[in-house]
């Protein structure tokens, strides 16, 4: 049974049983405590916590998931995967164990011709929690499972919670017996390789308290008992298709076998190569789905996950093929084609997905070359100093600057007989993560723990946003946070976060920055609102300072936004939509939005593109946008169902998450987008849009910046004044300025080159005099001196080689010289062949000198370079070289 057919049967079965079919949420988690969605129940978490009320009592879905904690196990086992899909059915206070258990059994065991999966009941085993007599009874009496195939398991295996106080409850799982060739008999308790879990039923019926691990108190029963069940789609496909592991199923297997064909490999012949092919198949599919949900390669958060799996794929493909060929475009196409029956939207996103992945593969090829050079220098330096451990700092630099996975560094080090200081590397990684987390928390969530926000949301409910039509409102204070703690009141000078029942303030989202304004309590206090964030969906946190008086829970306040500022932001946001359309007209649909920021009078817009636009195209985009402004198009906003909006051609942004109802912003047929932001009433309100420039901000992503309205007029006025000033000073008409300036710059560069040539020649003229100062130390002639003033690092290297050449090859010669270009001391050491035969190596000597300078260095036996931080130690470094040579 094909994977797409499994999906159709699962959703169709539960839809017939009265469940609402819910589309998969984005892989990018709404929950701020998560980076990516790791489980099928995550999109429904607010319903289970009571933070939001669903519009249905029962639901079913196929949820896209990503887990990275076991990434090193991918390909090695039969079931670990980075991307996977969870088939789930959910009940929010509707049915419980008495219905959930029979439904699962019915679907799994019903004959294929009757719409089921047709699994032989004699091959199924069941586990229940130790003291869950109710579940055990239902399996035994209502379903008819042989009691000998029902096993009771402990809290680690069969009890579920979210890891924090909240809902929890026992689990019951269905296992499939793969047969005696896979392990010993005795059910899941005896061998989970032979007996693999295919379905997990979670019975949320209790509330847990504080605790660690599985050690926590049960506070009581939940008011409403919920059902969260999940079936791993890939595992079920492996069972129904009769293959050994998930990598050989129809969808993943297509990518695997194509990778084998492209690299000249034969799957099944060699375990190590088989693992590498599985890694490629898993990671390519995972990358396609991540990019499809708007993730771009980067060095942090979800972008790093994507970059890591793409680079692991590239590395494995190169090792398998023994070439530097590019394979990912072909494999991406195979993966999209394999997944399109389940996710048809991938076909619409194919150009963007290919663009992002192709660009990352090309960039990593360049990065691999540069990083390998850096690795070689660091490894040579390590050996020159007599070490056998590649430093954690160098490994971290390779990771942070060049994107090298640590396992790639480990492998390259092992090839050169070195180990890696992994402890130091991971300490640096953790320090970077901690800093990033602290920065993000300080910027967006203040000092409060996310559980506090969850509690506020549970008590206050969703904030009613009035800002599309109102700029002020009468509101009630539902929550106050000071210094990360919920408080009953706040006084003058306090930094506060305030929850209102209704608000005209726009919370930062969709690229539009938050409103500012005031909250006023009649006769008692004023709060200056400086920022508004949504730490949880539906919860608006107004952040600011109590300017005067105090504010108390349940106060009635007058909430007012800064209207002029809002209008300026709206102009920028509407201009962003127009620039997006103009870029798509110029570059094609692959120019997808990759981020934006809309501020008063200014905007930036990030988009996918491989190459720079160029001045001519930038001018064309700017001219097109301003032509649309002059047409005074009415900007219409309307709420529609998601399907209706997409049918009318509305553009959905990569990385954005949409509900069943969406807001469509329409500027005639020139621009139709899904957008929750605020906008002008007509395009003429923008005045004018001036593009300020375009640049690259990452792999395949570029950025344009623009001024809008009054800011654009000010910019143009300044530019005009500047051009006028240049025209007057150069005595040149405005229209001739570009040619005049080009000629001046060309003459200046020629003069600079000539000056540099003369300076370098002057430095090298000193070579003869420097060579005459050679002195014997031990068995070698040694020149150890400072270079002439003004010598650059390049000059220094040339001068050292020139002096060494003048001293000949008959006897050992060592030349060591220092210089201080750009206030940083540099030392270069060269040894001739006779010196090398005597055991004198430049790489070792430069390490001696560099340590005296407070730094490090390395290189080859004939010439090496190092540096430090203390220019005052230059003479000491040179004397150290002389002393070391004298010891030979």
Binding-site residues for Zn(2+) sit at: 573, 577, 675, 679
Contact of 859 with 843, CB cutoff 8 Å: yes
> Under the phi-then-psi rule, with left for phi > 0, alpha for psi from -120 to 50, and beta for the rest, what region is 728?
alpha
Element (H, E) at 527: strand 525-536
The string of DSSP letters for 772-823 reads TT-EEETTEEEEEEEPPTT--HHHHHHHHHHHHHHT-SSS-EEEEEEE-GGG
Distance of CA 607 to the CA centre of its chain: 16
Q: Which two tokens stand for residue 439?
A: 């920065």
CB proximity list for 110: less than 8 A, separation 6 or greater: 116, 117, 118
Contact of 777 with 882, CB cutoff 8 Å: yes
**CA Rg value for the chain:** 34
Q: How many CB atoms lie within 10 A of CB 269?
A: 9
Q: What is the rounded distance in angstroms from the CA atom of residue 147 to the CA atom of residue 464? A: 53
Q: What is the rounded distance in angstroms from the CA atom of residue 169 to the CA atom of residue 656? A: 33
Q: Which two tokens stand for residue 560?
A: 């007012």
Binding residues, by number, are 573, 577, 675, 679
Distance of CA 136 to the CA centre of its chain: 44
The string of DSSP letters for 12-37 reads HHHHHTTPEE-PPPPSB-SSTT-SB-
| Dihedral sign from CA coordinates of 718, 720, 725, 726 | positive
In Å, how far are 4, 91, 115, 225, 851 from 17, measured between CA atoms?
20, 12, 13, 19, 75
In Å, how far are 27, 224, 554 from 662, measured between CA atoms?
19, 30, 32
Q: Which two tokens stand for residue 828?
A: 């270069």
Q: What is the rounded distance in angstroms from the CA atom of residue 511 to the CA atom of residue 595? A: 7
Q: What is the rounded distance in angstroms from the CA atom of residue 496 to the CA atom of residue 527? A: 9
| Dihedral sign from CA coordinates of 47, 49, 51, 53 | positive
Give the residue carrying structure tokens 């000629």: 743
Q: What is the rounded distance in angstroms from the CA atom of residue 604 to the CA atom of residue 693? A: 10
Contact of 515 with 521, CB cutoff 8 Å: no
Q: What is the rounded distance in angstroms from the CA atom of residue 176 to the CA atom of residue 50? A: 35
Q: What is the rounded distance in angstroms from the CA atom of residue 562 to the CA atom of residue 318? A: 57
DSSP 634: B
- Where does 185-270 have alpha helices with state H? 233-241, 250-263
DSSP 246: G
Q: What is the rounded distance in angstroms from the CA atom of residue 601 to the CA atom of residue 842? A: 59
Quick check: helix, strand or coil at residue 79? coil
Q: For the chain, how many helices (H) and strands (E)?
A: 25, 34
Element (H, E) at 276: helix 271-292
Q: How many CB atoms lie within 10 A of CB 435?
A: 10
Quick check: helix, strand or coil at residue 482? strand
CB proximity list for 200: less than 8 A, separation 6 or greater: 171, 172, 173, 174, 229, 230, 231
Among 526, 533, 480, 472, which residue's Cα sits nearest to residue 503?
Answer: 472
Q: What is the rounded distance in angstroms from the CA atom of residue 90 to the CA atom of residue 200? A: 12
Q: Which two tokens stand for residue 448?
A: 């409060």
């Amino acid at each position: 049974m094909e994977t797409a057919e499994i999906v159709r049967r699962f959703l169709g079965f539960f839809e017939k049983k009265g469940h609402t079919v819910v589309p998969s949420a984005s892989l990018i988690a709404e929950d701020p405590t998560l980076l990516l969605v790791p489980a099928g129940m995550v999109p429904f978490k607010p319903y289970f916590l009571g933070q939001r009320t669903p519009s249905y009592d029962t639901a079913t879905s196929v949820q896209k998931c990503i887990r990275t904690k076991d990434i090193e196990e991918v390909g090695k086992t039969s079931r670990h995967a980075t991307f996977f899909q969870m088939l789930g059915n959910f009940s929010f206070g509707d049915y419980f164990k008495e219905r959930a258990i029979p439904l699962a059994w019915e679907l799994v065991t019903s004959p294929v011709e009757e719409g089921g999966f047709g699994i032989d009941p004699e091959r199924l085993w069941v586990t229940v929690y130790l003291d869950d007599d109710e579940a055990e009874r239902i399996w035994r009496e209502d379903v008819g499972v042989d009691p000998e195939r029902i096993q009771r398991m402990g809290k680690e295996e069969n009890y579920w919670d979210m890891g924090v106080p909240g809902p929890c409850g026992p689990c019951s799982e269905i296992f499939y017996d793969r047969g005696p060739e896979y392990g010993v008999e005795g059910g899941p308790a005896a061998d989970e390789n032979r007996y693999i879990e295919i379905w997990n039923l979670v019975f949320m019926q209790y509330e847990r308290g504080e605790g660690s691990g599985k050690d926590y108190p049960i506070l009581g029963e939940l008011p409403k008992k919920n059902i969260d069940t999940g079936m791993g789609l890939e595992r079920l496909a492996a069972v129904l298709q009769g293959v050994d592991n998930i990598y050989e199923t129809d969808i993943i297997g297509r990518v695997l076998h194509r990778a084998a064909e492209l690299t000249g490999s034969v799957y099944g012949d060699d375990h190590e190569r088989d693992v590498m092919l599985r890694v490629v198949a898993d990671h390519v599919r995972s990358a396609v789905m991540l990019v499809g949900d708007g993730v771009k390669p980067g060095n942090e958060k979800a972008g790093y996950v994507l970059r890591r799996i793409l680079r692991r794929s590239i590395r494995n493909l190169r090792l398998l093929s023994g070439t530097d060929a590019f394979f990912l475009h072909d494999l991406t196409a195979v993966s999209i084609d394999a997944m399109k029956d389940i996710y048809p939207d991938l076909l619409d996103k194919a150009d963007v997905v290919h663009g992002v992945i192709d660009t990352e593969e090309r960039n990593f090829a360049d990065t691999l070359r540069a990083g390998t050079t850096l690795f070689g220098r660091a490894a040579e330096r390590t050996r020159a100093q007599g070490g056998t451990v590649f430093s954690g700092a160098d490994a971290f630099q390779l990771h942070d600057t060049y994107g090298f996975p640590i396992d790639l560094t480990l492998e390259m080090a092992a090839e050169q007989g070195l180990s890696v200081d992994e402890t130091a590397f991971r300490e640096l990684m953790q320090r970077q993560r901690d800093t990033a987390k602290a920065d993000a928390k300080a910027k967006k969530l203040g000092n409060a723990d996310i559980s506090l926000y969850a509690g506020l949301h549970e008590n206050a409910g969703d904030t009613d946003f009035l800002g599309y039509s109102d700029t002020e409102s009468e509101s009630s204070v539902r929550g106050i946070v000071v210094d990360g703690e919920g408080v009953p009141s706040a006084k003058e000078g306090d930094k506060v976060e305030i929850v209102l029942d209704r608000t005209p303030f726009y919370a930062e989202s969709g690229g539009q920055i938050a409103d500012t304004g005031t909250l006023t309590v009649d006769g008692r206090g004023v709060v200056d609102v400086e920022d508004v964030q949504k730490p949880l969906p539906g919860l608006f946190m107004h952040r600011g300072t109590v300017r005067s008086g105090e504010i108390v829970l349940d106060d009635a306040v007058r909430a007012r936004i800064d209207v002029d500022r809002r209008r300026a932001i709206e102009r920028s946001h509407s201009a962003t939509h127009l620039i997006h359309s103009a870029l798509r007209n110029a570059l094609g649909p692959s120019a997808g939005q990759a981020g934006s920021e809309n501020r008063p009078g200014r905007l930036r817009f990030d988009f996918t593109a491989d190459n720079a636009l160029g001045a001519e195209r930038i001018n064309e985009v700017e001219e097109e946008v301003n032509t649309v402004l002059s047409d005074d198009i009415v900007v219409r906003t309307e709420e529609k169902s998601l399907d209706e909006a997409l049918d009318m051609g509305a553009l959905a942004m990569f990385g954005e998450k949409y509900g069943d109802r969406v807001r469509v912003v329409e500027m005639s047929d020139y621009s139709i987008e899904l957008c929750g932001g605020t906008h002008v009433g007509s395009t003429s309100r923008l005045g004018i849009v001036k593009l300020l420039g375009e640049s690259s901000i990452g792999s395949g992503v570029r950025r344009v910046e623009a001024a809008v309205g009054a800011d654009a007029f000010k910019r143009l006025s300044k530019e005009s004044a500047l051009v006028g000033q240049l025209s007057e000073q150069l005595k040149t008409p405005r229209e001739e300025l570009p040619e005049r300036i080009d000629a001046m710059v060309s003459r200046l560069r020629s003069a600079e080159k000539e000056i540099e040539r003369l300076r370098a020649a002057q430095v090298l003229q000193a070579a003869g005099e420097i060579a005459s100062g050679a002195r014997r130390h031990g068995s070698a002639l040694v020149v150890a001196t400072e270079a002439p003033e003004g010598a650059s690092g390049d000059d220094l290297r040339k001068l050292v080689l020139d002096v060494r050449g003048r001293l000949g090859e008959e006897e050992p010669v060592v030349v060591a010289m220092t210089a201080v270009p750009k206030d940083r001391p540099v030392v270069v050491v060269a040894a001739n062949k006779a010196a090398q035969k005597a055991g004198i190596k430049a790489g070792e000597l430069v390490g001696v000198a560099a340590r005296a300078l407070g730094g490090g260095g390395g290189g080859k036996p004939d010439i090496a370079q190092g540096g430090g931080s203390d220019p005052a130690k230059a003479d000491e470094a040179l004397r150290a070289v002389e002393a070391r040579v004298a010891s030979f």
